[in-house]
Amino acid sequence: MIKENKNDKSTEQKILEAAKQVFMEKGIDGARMQDIADKAGINKALLHYYFRSKEKLFEMIFMEEARKFLPKVTSIMVSELTLFEKVEKFVGEYIDTLLQNPLLPIFILNEINRNPKEAIKKIFGNQRPPIDKVDELIAKLVKKGEIKPIKGYELMVNMVSLCIFPFLARPMVQWVTKTTDEEFLKLMELRKKTVVKFVLDSIKK
């Protein structure tokens, strides 16, 4: 039988959590297996007993995090909501995700930079986001005179940019705005509304 655990968390779980932290903070090249073992409260031998190599361990973590990075774009964009509602839902859910995973963006973008082909495959599978659908949706609303024309991909890129960037540049943003960690998070909380407003004000006619 599998020895479930004498402690609260299983060892595997402790390792994964430690690895996630270390990889997110230092990147794969800066991370040390010893640090991960320490943070997990075990030793290097056991660490390798669970995950044969650094690469494999990183792989696991990346797979786990990759899914979070791509929000339910597709499901939201293909839903029956109006465009305005979609923007609101998209931004809200995305910033919520980032509030719970502040280091996710730099982690993912670094891996995309290091290993674009593989990383992108892991994030998207082989399904490109449905920008055509977005284009169609926009076209309709333009015809109805409700919004100004804008390319679908551009609307998407802009939304994502506005959501993610502050987290990427967090230390800079905090320095410029003289905010504490707590205040920064509050700002991002507010930002859920202001970004939606910013985007909608921009495209509304």
Partner DNA sequence: ACGCGGTTTAACCATTTGGTTAAACACAAA
Partner DNA sequence: TTTGTGTTTAACCAAATGGTTAAACCGCGT
**Contact set with DNA (CB under 7 A):** 1-3, 5-6, 11, 31-34, 41-46, 48-49, 52-55
Q: How far is the CB of 103 from a copy of itself (least distance, A)?
A: 8
User: Of residues 143, 148, 186, 193, which one binds a copy of itself by CB under 8 A?
Assistant: 148
Residue pair 148/205 in contact (Cβ under 8 Å)? The answer is: yes
Decide whether 12 or 25 has the Cβ nearer to a copy of itself: 25
Find, among 28, 29, 57, the residue nearest to 44 by Cα: 57
Count the site residues for a copy of itself by CB under 8 A: 48
DSSP character string of the chain:
-----SSSS-HHHHHHHHHHHHHHHHHHHH--HHHHHHHHTS-HHHHHHHSS-HHHHHHHHHHHHHHHHS-SHHHHHHSSS-HHHHHHHHHHHHHHHHHH-TTHHHHHHHHHHHSHHHHHHHHHTT----HHHHHHHHHHHHHTTSB----HHHHHHHHHHHHHHHHHTHHHHHHHHT--HHHHHHHHHHHHHHHHHHHHHHHB-
Q: How far is the CB of 115 from DNA (least distance, A)?
A: 16
Q: Does 120 bind a copy of itself (CB under 8 A)?
A: yes
Partner that binds at residue 120, options a copy of itself, DNA, none, CB closer than 5 to 8 Å by kind: a copy of itself
Partner that binds at residue 60, options DNA, a copy of itself, none, CB closer than 5 to 8 Å by kind: none
Q: How far is the CB of 23 from DNA (least distance, A)?
A: 11
Residues of this chain, 24-43, that bind a copy of itself according to CB under 8 A: 26-27, 29-30
DSSP character string of 33-48:
HHHHHHHHTS-HHHHH
Residues of this chain, 122-141, that bind a copy of itself according to CB under 8 A: 123-124, 128-129, 131
Single out the segment in contact with a copy of itself by CB under 8 A; choices: 15-23, 46-54, 84-92, 115-123: 115-123
Q: Does 182 bind a copy of itself (CB under 8 A)?
A: no
Q: How far apart are CA 37 and CA 57, in angstroms?
A: 12
Positions in the binding site for a copy of itself (CB under 8 A):
26-27, 29-30, 106, 109-110, 112-114, 116, 119-120, 123-124, 128-129, 131, 148, 150-151, 153-154, 157-158, 160-162, 164-166, 168-169, 171-173, 175-178, 191, 194-195, 198-199, 201-203
